[in-house]
Amino acid sequence: MESTVATPLQGYDADEGESHSHAYLFPILLRILAEHPVGRIFELGCGNGTTAAMLQARGYSIIGVDPSVSGIEIAHREFPQCRLESGSSDEDLRARFGTFETVVSLEVAEHVYSPKLYAKAIFDLLEPGGIAIVSTPYHSYLKNLALAVSGRMESHFTALWEGGHIKFWSRKTLRTLFDDAGMDEIAFYRVGRVPVLAKSMVSVFRKREAPQTGA
């Protein structure tokens, strides 16, 4: 039975300001947004509001939600100009906020208990033909092999971190998740370090257009 309980993203919003991942995620995010018609943006998993504030300062219209109470408290204090509210993929976000041309969700997929609900929420929030920009830590055979050879496998996949990452995605599994939800991968990037040892991967998915009905 799938969980319907919104859970905090432990460690995702613990600090004010930018996280270390923003240094390599923001440039590719801005590049993708510049390459596609964007319209209104919805951020699923806005954390402490840093990404939303950065995008709004560049002229983008954005609304964000996060299940973490502490994250939203920081967001309201630091970025009162942004519309950032409590919420998660466990609820009907489309009924609450409507639909958007673009959904952004950075470093969130590794935290969710129900990936299917997460992908469905993104699908429902998007207008037909809209795009989702999703990032998550990168994993592959070669990267995992490098972790094993370097002796870092135990610390990387540790179960001792309170909260933390509970899903470890590859490009194939992430693409399968969104394909099953009704979306096609249209771009893929590896960022942070050299590609084979990338810190994160960024996938761009397009919601499939509704099939045309006969006259």
Question: Encoding tokens for residue 118?
Answer: 């997460």
pTM (two decimals): 0.84
* DSSP 3-state of 26: helix
The CA–CA distances, whole Å, from 94 to 56, 67, 132, 174 equal 21, 16, 15, 22
For the segment 87-107, the average pLDDT, to the nearest whole number, is 97
* pLDDT for residue 8 is more than 70: no
Mean pLDDT of 57-73: 96
**Cα gap 197→89, rounded to integer Å:** 30
Handedness of CA 180, 183, 184, 190 (dihedral sign): negative
Query: Looking at residue 215, what is its pLDDT?
Result: 45
Per-residue confidence (pLDDT) for residue 165, from 0 to 100: 77
Q: How many CB atoms lie within 10 A of CB 119?
A: 26
Strand order in the sheet with 126-137: 83-86, 62-66, 41-44, 100-106, 126-137, 200-207, 183-191
Beta pairing, strands 41-44 & 62-66: parallel
170 SS3 class: coil
3-class DSSP state for residue 121? helix
> What per-residue confidence (pLDDT) applies to 6?
37
Q: What is the pLDDT of residue 159?
A: 65
Three-state secondary structure call for residue 131: strand
pLDDT at 180: 98
Mean pLDDT of 13-28: 73
pLDDT at 197: 78
Token pair of 169 as six digits: 């995605």
User: For position 211, what pLDDT does the model report?
Assistant: 63
